[in-house]
Amino acid sequence: MKVAAGLEITFLGTGTSQGVPMIACDCAVCRSEDPRDSRLRTAARVRTPEVEFVIDTPPDFRTQALRENLRRIDAVLYTHAHTDHVMGFDDLRRYCETQDQEMPIYASPVVLADFRRIFQFAFDGTSGGIRNYIRPQVHEVTGPFALGDLTVTPVTLPHGRFDTTGYVFSQHGRPLLAYFTDCNRVPEAALEAARGAEVLVIDALRHKPHPTHMSVPEAIAASEAMDAKRTFFTHLCHDLGHAATEAALPQNIRLAFDGLRVQAL
């Protein structure tokens, strides 16, 4: 079922690279009975009246797709090629089979080069166009592009020694959603592209500073700088208990959680 207007984002996962709970950890958040503290690796599904796509395919993607009953995917947008964002790639083969078509893959040239190395089997022609194999249709992201009824503007975000791609999704010139995961700051060009967005999704790993991710205070400052109407933090580690952290946030800033659906109109 599609949304009537604007777009809807579903948070498939909101956790850091190791997920929450972490293996062999007995902290209060990892032992929490609050379902919002259980976080698969970070990804999202976005849908509009014309298009339905996902952002990243983490190792948990099959579980996420089953939980949300994802029966159609028109495209996949990738932010970067780190393990926790790409290792569910082969699970897209099921959509190639059920939809009997290639899967459009959007990513920067650097990320596509990584994909050709990591997933050589999908790009070297050995699948022979077999219906139930993953069949990527490659789209290099080097500037704004159209996806259904959306204009997608890519922005470069620093992530330690690497860069990731953030995406700003607009309709009729209005930025409805800015998706900025895995970054340790938001450069001026990205701030301007997302200014006034109806919904901002942004990395907020923990309270303390981190060399490759934004802290909660840094993410709050970035949200204010972009004048986002509503902000949702993602890529959360086990330092952040949902209830306690959210209680201390500004009213228009919330923690995302797995399965949360948000409308941007």
Query: Which pLDDT belongs to residue 132?
Result: 82
Q: Alpha-carbon distance 205 to 130, whole Å?
A: 41
pTM, rounded to two decimals = 0.96
Query: Which pLDDT belongs to residue 125?
Result: 76
Query: Which pLDDT belongs to residue 124?
Result: 87
Query: Which pLDDT belongs to residue 4?
Result: 62
Q: Are strands 199-203 and 103-107 parallel, antiparallel or unpaired?
A: unpaired
CB 212 within 8 A of CB 203: no
Query: Which pLDDT belongs to residue 1?
Result: 53
Of 81, 80, 75, 130, give the one whose Cα is nearest residue 106.
75
CATH 3.40.50.620 assigned to domain 7-255? The reply is no
For residue 126, CA distances in Å to 121, 134, 139, 172, 237 come to 6, 11, 20, 42, 39
Query: Which pLDDT belongs to residue 2?
Result: 55
Query: Which pLDDT belongs to residue 127?
Result: 65
Per residue in 13-44, pLDDT (tens digit) is 999 999 999 999 999 999 999 999 999 999 99
Residues of the chain with pLDDT under 50: none
Query: Which pLDDT belongs to residue 63?
Result: 98
Q: Alpha-carbon distance 113 to 108, whole Å?
A: 9
Domain extents for the chain? 7-255
